[in-house]
């Protein structure tokens, strides 16, 4: 029977955790909690869960789902998963890291001074921008959630990097821009920030090497070359970058 302790926290960024414990359940138990956590409090049909969890081929899929719900609540020490005859959902009291940081990203992006706002945020919030959503998992139902989180966090990382450059802090800007280009190597706007940070950090040679790296990536993956505006950052023909 599930306990009556405090509501647990589910973590989905970087890897799955329940109440701070990594891998406390079997694979299907984790998938059930993650699937409901990503639903954002909405009810999910039992038939949908049976399909997403790969239970459809079992002799009694509904019994299998009931067992998973019971095991998840036992592991949580709390009735984290509620259900009726047709749906299941995550209890409103259960916190989810992705939900918290997604709302934070939306707020940041709509702020008129988003970059300045980001610079003042606590390190834990900034660090979340470098965490992908369940990167070791692969499932059709998960793809859209992963893509949406990447769009949000990449946009916030660009705003943060630009603000750090405006605040004359190219060293910190370099850290975030470099990580962003590693995670999304075809994102030319991120490379622009990285090259700008190298130039402002007094490393024109490294800036040129970054441009060479981007040229190789774009040529191999897309058969194109960097924009002339990006090349102008190296030659200085545009009078310097404007951010």
Quote the CA–CA distance of 206 and 209 in Å, as a whole number.
Answer: 5
pLDDT of residue 239: 45
Say what the pLDDT of residue 186 is. 93
pLDDT by 10s per residue, the chain, length 243: 455 567 889 999 999 998 765 445 668 999 999 999 999 989 999 999 999 999 999 999 999 999 999 999 988 888 999 999 999 999 999 999 999 999 989 888 887 666 666 777 788 888 999 999 999 999 999 999 999 999 999 999 999 899 899 889 999 999 999 999 999 999 999 999 999 999 999 999 999 999 999 999 999 999 999 999 888 888 873 444 444
pTM for the model stands at 0.84
Q: DSSP letters along 119-184, please? A: HTS-HHHHHHTT--BSTT---HHHHHHHHHHHHHHHHHHHHHHHHHHHTT-HHHHHHHHHHHHHHS
- Residue 75: predicted pLDDT: 87
Say how far apart CA 190 and CA 178 lie, in whole Å.
Answer: 8
Where do the CATH 1.25.40.10 domains begin and end in the chain? Answer: 97-235
Please tell me the predicted confidence (pLDDT) of residue 21: 58
Q: Looking at domain 97-235, what is its CATH homologous superfamily?
A: Tetratricopeptide repeat domain (1.25.40.10)
Using DSSP bridges, classify how beta strands 44-45 and 17-18 pair: parallel, antiparallel or unpaired.
unpaired
CA dist 2 and 238 (Å) reads: 65
Q: DSSP assignment of 80-124, as one string?
A: -EEE-SSEEEE-TT-EEHHHHHHHHHHHHHHSTTHHHHHHTS-HH
Q: Which residues pair with 87 in a beta bridge?
A: 45
- Distance from chain centroid for Cα 239: 35
Supply the angle between the helices 188-200 and 140-166 in degrees, to the nearest 10. Answer: 30
9-95 CATH: 1.10.10
| pLDDT, position 115 | 66
Phi (first) and psi of residue 90, to 5 degrees = -85, 135
For residue 34, give both structure tokens. 């993650």
| Intervals of CATH 1.10.10 along the chain | 9-95
Look-up of token digits 């280009």: 181
What pLDDT does 91 receive? 95
């Amino acid at each position: 029977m599930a306990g009556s302790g405090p509501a647990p926290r589910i973590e989905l960024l970087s890897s799955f955790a329940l109440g701070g414990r990594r891998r406390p359940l079997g694979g299907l138990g984790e998938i059930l909690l993650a699937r409901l956590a990503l639903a954002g409090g909405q009810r999910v049909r039992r038939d949908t869960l049976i399909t997403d969890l790969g239970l459809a081929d079992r002799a009694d899929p509904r019994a299998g789902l009931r067992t998973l719900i019971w095991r998840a609540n036992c592991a949580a020490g709390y009735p984290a998963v509620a259900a009726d005859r047709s749906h299941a959902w995550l209890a409103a009291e259960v916190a989810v890291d992705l939900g918290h940081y997604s709302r934070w990203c939306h707020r940041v992006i709509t702020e008129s001074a988003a970059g300045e706002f980001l610079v003042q945020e606590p390190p834990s919030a900034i660090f979340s921008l470098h965490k992908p959503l369940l990167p070791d998992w692969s499932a059709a139902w998960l793809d859209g959630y992963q893509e949406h989180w990447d769009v949000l966090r990449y946009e916030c990382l660009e705003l943060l990097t630009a603000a750090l450059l405006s605040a004359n802090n190219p060293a910190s800007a370099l850290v975030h821009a470099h990580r962003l280009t590693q995670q999304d190597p075809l994102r030319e706007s991120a490379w622009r920030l990285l090259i700008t940070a190298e130039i402002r950090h007094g490393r024109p040679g490294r800036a040129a090497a970054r441009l060479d790296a981007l040229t190789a990536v774009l040529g191999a993956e897309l058969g194109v070359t960097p924009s002339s505006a990006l090349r102008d950052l190296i030659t200085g023909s545009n009078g310097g970058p404007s951010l």
